[in-house]
Structures are given as C-alpha cells and as structure tokens.
Structure 1
C-alpha cells in the first residue's frame, strides 16, 4: 500500500511536494460525513458500520453515517455534487447501479458525475434454492429449465440490478429461458424464495451466509470458492463464464481536493487490509477487492463494457 508521505533525497523536495505532504498529514481535520444512499440495514450500511471503528483508529476522527434513500440510490447520487467538496463528505456507490441506472432513464446523474476514489468489496451473485428444493445441483435446475422454458422463476433484488444482470447473462450462457421477478430489495426476494413464490433466487453469497439453515446455494459467481462455503462450486468450475455481483465503493463530490481523495483511498485501503476486518467481512459472505483511486477509471471501464452487453439485451442501448 502506498504511503501518503514520500521519502525524498535531500535537496530534491519542492515546495509543492511539501505542501501536499502537509495537506495529507492534516486530513481529515474533522469528522467524516459518510452518506449511504439507501435505508439502514442493507449491505451498504452493514459494511459502512464495520468500517467506522477502523476509520477512527487510523484517523482519530469519526465516520458519521447518514441515510438518504430513494430511487435505488439515485436520489442521493443526483444531489451529491451539491454537497461540501472539502473531502469530508463521501457517499457509498454501487455497481451496476451507477452505470445501468443512467442508461435506463433520466435519474438526475451520469456515471461520470460520481468522483469515485475506492472500491472495497463485492457480494458475488449466487443461485439459491430452498433447503427442501428438488434441485440439488445447478445442472438439475438447468435441465428443468430446458424441459420447460420460462417455468423456472427467480426472485431478485430489483430491475437492472446485479441479480438481473446475472440472470440475463446466465440464461444466455446456459442456453435456457427463465423468468426473473424483481422485488424491492434482497429481503423481499428472500421472503419470496422461502414462501415458495418462486423456484429459486438470484441472490448473493451474503444472503446464503444469513440464511444457511433454510436455503441452499447451488453456485457462486466468484473467481474462487468462498471460505464459508467450501463445497459450493463457482460457475466457472461448472463451465459457465460468469463472475460478478454487487460492487461497493465510495466517492467524493466533484471539486474535492485531489490530496483528500488520495488520502481517503489510502485510509480505506488500510482498513481493507486489516486481518480482523477481512475476517469479519468474510464471515458475512463478502469478497474484498482493492481498487484504489488511481485504478478506479480502468476498473469502471471494464465494468461498463460488461454491463453494456447486458444493457443491449435489456434494450437500453443499441
């Protein structure tokens, strides 16, 4: 991890570099306003609350969480650049939301309006069935979908969400037709699964972690098996090139000082490397990623290319 301070040769320090070092060492100079663009209790909130104590340990300041829900995050994202841009106000950002929402309709912001400085984890997509489901394996479910196209119904967290993206991509990869039913949030999608309203759920590994007693995960869209579920194969192991989920990051308003943006990237990167934090996140079913400020543009470009393929299937773009 890069240090915020540079070790330099005597006589080679410019006044600009010295000024930057001072700015970074003094930041943050007050508590951080950490906006969650959803209601309390969701995965964005859970991870932010875990980050809080480590942020205080590193900086001596508090990360004060505020909730501004609405429009699947769009309400807060569309208003964010009107907020103070001194680096002490940040907002949680989610993929694919911040890319697909502006493609689908006018939501008051464009993807590039959000000045992302770090992406820190993702919840891998996963197929879940009730514990008593007749589908013991992914291939059992695929065979049923082949025999009766459209008859296998999936609950999922909203339209144009990571779950919706995964369902669309998997149907194409497997050569099947299933029916996706969007619900208002992961909780409602789980309830639909447990009540028998649907055959299965496009959920996340985090859902499986929270409902291990009455659900079964058939496959996970990660590059490797999750430590909590060593017996659950990845889609790639089963021959399907499917990897991804709901990615979470953070942004500062446009115009925030570059030094503050870099320092925030370093702080949250340090949190992401803390062994205790890593363990706690894994126990909740997350996978950590480490995308610092100077790699964010490339990361978003890769995700955009992936989501635009699905956006064509959604008829959002030509």
Structure 2
C-alpha cells in the first residue's frame, strides 16, 4: 500500500459547480452482452447525499474513467443510515460489472457490529480503496471557540449543550466524537446527517456549534471555517498552524477510508478488471495531484490485497467498538 502526502489548496466549490453542470444522471442499462468490458456506461452509486467526500472523489474519477474505457461513470445517490441503506441493497443489484457502489471505513465494519443494519461486512465485495481523510473538529470562523480548550470548557460548563454535526451513527465522525468525549471527559450532543455535505451545511447554517469533518472539509470551506485540531500523526501541510490532537494531549488519530464494491455475484474477472481500471486512475499523476490538492491522503489497495487490508482494519475497529460499547 503506497501513500503520499503532498497537499495544495484548490477551489473545490468551483470544481463541484463545474462537474455538476456536465454530469449525466440517467440510469444505464445493466445487462452485459458478452463484449469487451466495459462496453457501456457504469452506474456509480454513492450511498450518501451529494457534496461530500465520496461524491467529490467520484466526480474527479469520471473524466479519467472515460479516458481509459470510452464509457462514462453515471453518478447516483442512495443516502440513508450513514450508508447502510445503499450497502444493504447492493447484493440485490445486477452483478454484471455495470453497477458499483462507494464504501467507507470504518462504517462498513462497525455498523454490523451493533444492531443489524441490513448487511454484513463480509458480504460487501470491495475491489479498490483509494484514499482517506483525517478527522478534524471544525467551527465557523466567527465561533467563540478559538481553541480546542475553549470547546472543551464550553462542553464541561453545560454538558450536552454543545451541538456537533457529522455523518450518520457509527461513521468515522461519530467515532471521532465519542472517542474525544471519552478522552476529554466531556458530553456533547452529536447530530447525525446524511453525509459530510449536509453536516457542513448545518454548521454554516448555525444549526450546530461545531462539526466533526475532515481536512478536506476545511480545505473546501477555508474562508468560512477553521479547524481546532486534526486527528493525524503530524500537522497537515495545508494547515500548518492547526495542532494535532496528540500535540494537545489527546491520543487520537483516525479518519475515513473510501473505496468501492460490486454486488457479490459479479464475476472475478470483471471485478479484477474494475480494480485495474481504478488503480490506473489512482496512479494518474494529474488525478492524484487534484486529490492531494483537496486534502485527501492517497492510498492504493487493489482487489488482490483487499482481504489483508480489511482484516487489518477490522482488528483495529473491534477495539474501537469495545471502547464505544458496540460490542463487549
């Protein structure tokens, strides 16, 4: 697994506006006809609402997928349950290689450890993981919380009064909030939304006092928000003045990994071909730079390395699940 760490800033709002204007949302036919794969457009389902990191990644991948295959990625959304609505339906879809779905860690591991979300981790046929984004505690530029200590002091003064937005329950954001509550001995009110886009909108709309987001969120909204701390081993080069939680005395690192899966019935040769295609996209220097410019940390986990990668993540998240009381 390879990883890079070069970051620059980019106007993400401008980027999204541009690609939204040219995207196609009509659903493609899903039956393969035996020709060379892919010989028609591929439906790419995002199990969250538009505007979040999963959507951003998919839209950046569109151009390079078409350059490599001559076909288009048709992006659609199936939000709900912090991704569970989509993942619970994936294996009911046609396994012909013309339907793929975004998957996220730790979501797909932690959710089935609690109550039944309608899917099991092992039933999701992941074929590529391509990046992650570090957790960050974010406030608006005019927030009275100038430092992490300010945030903690407010939460201690009136437990539960500090409202925090984030993605659905048992998502990376939810985990970050619960872990920080434990480490700082505070109590907040976590409000789950249908993805990062909605969570940051709640922050900017003064519906909440803070947001558990990512470095990518702060990069996109840097004229409106600021990070109090970031959950990475080292300071993010995009934000050299923002301390890590570790620097401030809280042993907390983590974030959200993003990848893709196909229905379990998808043939192995087609699954491998998809992995190869997205591997080539991920290694395209232009694409890679665009992702890094937006604050993503690139990784490369192809289909043949997925079992080992998922086993490592599961071991890590089982400990988190015990700390959160999801499992005993």
Q: TM-score, normalised by structure 2?
A: 0.79
**Structure 1 position 116 matched with structure 2 position 123:** no
Counterpart of 2:220 (choices 203, 210, 226) is 210
Q: Partner of 2:188 in structure 1?
A: 179
Counterpart of 2:276 (choices 244, 263, 266) is 266
Q: State the alpha-carbon separation in 1 of the partners of residues 248 and 301 from structure 2.
A: 28
Q: In structure 1, the residue corresponding to 2:128 is in which secondary structure?
A: strand
Asked if the contact 2:49/2:198 (under 8 Å) is kept, the reply is no
Q: State the alpha-carbon separation in 1 of the partners of residues 45 and 210 from structure 2.
A: 33
Structure 1 residues 182 and 304: alpha-carbon distance in aligned structure 2, compared to 1, 3 A threshold: farther
Structure showing greater Rg? 1
Structure 1 residues 140 and 248: alpha-carbon distance in aligned structure 2, compared to 1, 3 A threshold: same
What is the CA-CA distance between 1:150 and the residue it aligns to? 5.0
Structure 1 residues 165 and 57: alpha-carbon distance in aligned structure 2, compared to 1, 3 A threshold: same
Q: Partner of 1:293 in structure 2?
A: 303
Q: Partner of 2:70 in structure 1?
A: 60
Q: State the alpha-carbon separation in 1 of the partners of residues 297 and 112 from structure 2.
A: 26
Q: Partner of 1:219 in structure 2?
A: 229
Q: State the alpha-carbon separation in 1 of the partners of residues 234 and 39 from structure 2.
A: 40
**Structure 1 position 133 matched with structure 2 position 143:** yes
What is the CA-CA distance between 1:214 and the residue it aligns to? 2.4
**Structure 1 position 159 matched with structure 2 position 169:** yes
What is the CA-CA distance between 1:241 and the residue it aligns to? 3.2
Q: State the alpha-carbon separation in 2 of the partners of residues 56 and 100 from structure 1.
A: 34
Q: State the alpha-carbon separation in 2 of the partners of residues 97 and 252 from structure 1.
A: 17
What is the CA-CA distance between 1:145 and the residue it aligns to? 4.8
Q: State the alpha-carbon separation in 1 of the partners of residues 74 and 205 from structure 2.
A: 37
Deviations 1:41-84 (A, max 9, x none): 33222211110110111222222223333333222222222222
Asked if the contact 2:82/2:171 (under 8 Å) is kept, the reply is no
Asked if the contact 2:140/2:204 (under 8 Å) is kept, the reply is yes
Structure 1 residues 187 and 68: alpha-carbon distance in aligned structure 2, compared to 1, 3 A threshold: closer
Structure 1: segments with no counterpart, 5+ residues: 2-24
Structure 2: segments with no counterpart, 5+ residues: 2-34
Q: State the alpha-carbon separation in 2 of the partners of residues 250 and 28 from structure 1.
A: 17
**Structure 1 position 97 matched with structure 2 position 107:** yes
What is the CA-CA distance between 1:109 and the residue it aligns to? 1.1
State which drifts further: 31-40 or 43-52. 31-40
Q: State the alpha-carbon separation in 2 of the partners of residues 218 and 131 from structure 1.
A: 11
Asked if the contact 1:168/1:310 (under 8 Å) is kept, the reply is no
Paired residues in the alignment total: 294
Deviations 1:136-189 (A, max 9, x none): 333443455566655544332232221110112223334x21313213233443
Asked if the contact 2:82/2:169 (under 8 Å) is kept, the reply is no
Structure 1 residues 178 and 195: alpha-carbon distance in aligned structure 2, compared to 1, 3 A threshold: farther
State which drifts further: 277-286 or 114-123. 277-286
Asked if the contact 1:126/1:218 (under 8 Å) is kept, the reply is yes
Q: State the alpha-carbon separation in 1 of the partners of residues 40 and 259 from structure 2.
A: 21
Structure 1 residues 168 and 70: alpha-carbon distance in aligned structure 2, compared to 1, 3 A threshold: closer
Aligned-CA RMSD value: 2.7
Spell out the pairing of 1:42-53 with structure 2 (5 A cutoff).
42-53=52-63
Counterpart of 2:260 (choices 250, 253, 266) is 250
Q: In structure 2, the residue corresponding to 1:84 is in which secondary structure?
A: coil
